A and B are shown apart, each in its own frame.
Chain A
């Protein structure tokens, strides 16, 4: 709590509820925009000391006074399938295809997160969403002290994706920015 205002991301229950809603919207997006059926999902705390990223990951921050980092990490097959459907009927030059696949991942996280914010709005508090950042390699990010990871795995007919939520996000912002430069 900060003064009389409860920020969604400050409590475990707030962050968990946020994750649940994000996962539901993610599954709907995959179905509506990618024609990809979901097979199963699981949400929980991440017990390990590191966050394992798949071959393509889109990351953004959401802030309502407290800050949260969200990451959508895709199996290559899944993001390729989503891209194929998302770009259906659009001419994409072959040498620019990878950039458009990345933008598909960025669009997805931006739309999913933006769409659910109305569910958590409080008078006088405007959420801020950053533009997405894309990480293009499988890697492991170590856990900082005092941060909490939430994770959800969504299994689909075209591979799986992880949804990660990290609170507080301030520590990870610096880390992800450094990763991009390297």
Chain B
């Protein structure tokens, strides 16, 4: 597994810092972070990451809408949804928006590594 280039999107700065730490400890690189959906679109264009971790509940533009816009811009965008929301309907909404992975908060560092790497191996390597 190559070191993945990860864009972290979450409106909570403490979550961004915690996730960044976990991603780095998993042997991957955080190429940028964004604390809103709008910033995520700009940062994605700039950095072209391998994979995006996306919070669902954000003000203004939520993670579902941001994911749809990213996929409109680049159909190969790989998004893993990060949310506290355990309801099945939310998982279905995330898949419908185009997410390829789903991880429940609070985060477990080991689980995060597995989900990022499995998602990339399954959907990303063919686009590399």
Contacts and interface: CB of A to CB of B under 8 A. Distances in A.
A65 B88 CA distance: 17
A32 B87 contact: no
B12 A106 contact: yes
Interface residues of A, number: 32
9 contacts: A87-B14, A103-B12, A103-B15, A111-B105, A112-B84, A114-B57, A114-B84, A125-B89, A131-B11
A121 interface: yes
Contacts, number: 74
A124 B93 CA distance: 12
B90 interface: yes
Interface of A: 29, 32-33, 86-87, 89-92, 99-100, 103-104, 106-107, 110-118, 121, 124-127, 129-131
B interface residue count range (under 10 / 10 to 19 / 20 to 34 / 35 or more): 20 to 34
Given A90-B17, A99-B13, A126 B106 contact: no
B105 A103 contact: no
A131 B89 CA distance: 19
Interface of B: 11-15, 17-18, 21, 57-59, 83-90, 93, 104-106
A129 B62 CA distance: 11
A155 B14 CA distance: 25
Contacts of A87: 14, 17-18
Nearest to B18: A90
Contacts of A89: 21
B16 to A, nearest CB: 10
